[in-house]
Amino acid sequence: MTVLVTGGCGYIGAHVVHALHQAGEKVVVVDDLSYGKPTRIEGSRLYGMDIATPGAGERLAEILDAEGVDSVIHFAARKQVGESVEKPLWYYQQNINGMLNVLTGMTQSKNAKKLVFSSSAATYGVPPVDVVPEDVVPMLPINPYGQTKLFGEWMARACEQPFGIRFCALRYFNVAGCGPVELEDPAILNLIPMLFNRLKQGKAPAIFGDDYPTPDGTCVRDYIHVSDLADAHIAALKYLDRDKRKYDAFNVGTGEGTSVRQIVDEVKKVTGLPFTEAVMARRAGDPPHLIGSPKRINEEMGWHAKYDVEDIVKSAWDAWQANPEHHIDVDTWKQAD
């Protein structure tokens, strides 16, 4: 199997590239390097390109055939909820055009007919149940980011029958932690790196909103270790080898909810830093409560999460401390504000 990974130099993408190499697969990466680094893909061939630009579909088709690719894992997208609220048209342009070009490339390719799509729990919006199954109705994303992911699923599903594309979407919840320390999250966009970054500056880590209708007032999420998520992608590729597939969308989560304040408390425990957090105003587009049922992926693919929240925070801290640019001297650390 030869797998093309779009966005393979990024946080999740690099972990999946690593897992594919561990499984003995050949990997090709397409990335615009807006967040990732080419050193993260373990010698895979890298094609530098922005997949959202005109003509990218035809170029992808050339790459797919030149490299003998039969499977695509599509990560490359913009992914900040708040930013999507502020720049909706840009998010539609980037994420929907990116998916359009990936599908264009695959439909023009000879052999690339399996697609695993990096979707999101943001497709659910504010669901009417505490633990969300994949077939919850209605699916009403409340921010442009979630809308682009849901539309991406529709686009891929529409290409199954006329073009023979085998497709499944993995709807992630809150991805965190680190595998090999050199694969540390390169962008300060997710909660735990954001907390560490504030600590690096001697500043109070921020909690955005403590007046949500949740037990402690902060947002509750299903946190999934990035190494567990990488394993789910390997399982999804194997699932697409089946001629009979009952489903094409799967939650990747633990089924357990953890609040932002609980994450902050775990960071205090793991780091040993005596910080005081600051409560800020809510961010636009954040649902109060989002936990996914992993029952479908457990039963259909035999995939189960192995790591808990303590593992997630500890692995993220180990990777942060291993980076000389990020390292915090715990013994001398003081909070400046």
Catalytic residues, by residue number, are: 145
Tokens encoding 75? 């990560």
Could you tell me which residues are beta bridge partners of residue 3?
Answer: 27, 71
CA-based radius of gyration for the chain: 19
* List of residues 6+ apart from 194 with CB closer than 8 A: 188, 205, 206
Q: How far apart are CA 156 and CA 166, in angstroms?
A: 9
Q: How far apart are CA 81 and CA 87, in angstroms?
A: 10
Q: Name the nearest CA neighbour of 87 among 290, 287, 288, 285.
A: 285
Q: How far apart are CA 203 and CA 110, in angstroms?
A: 54
Q: How far apart are CA 317 and CA 312, in angstroms?
A: 9
**Omega within 30 of 0 (cis) for the link into 138:** yes
Amino acid at 42: E
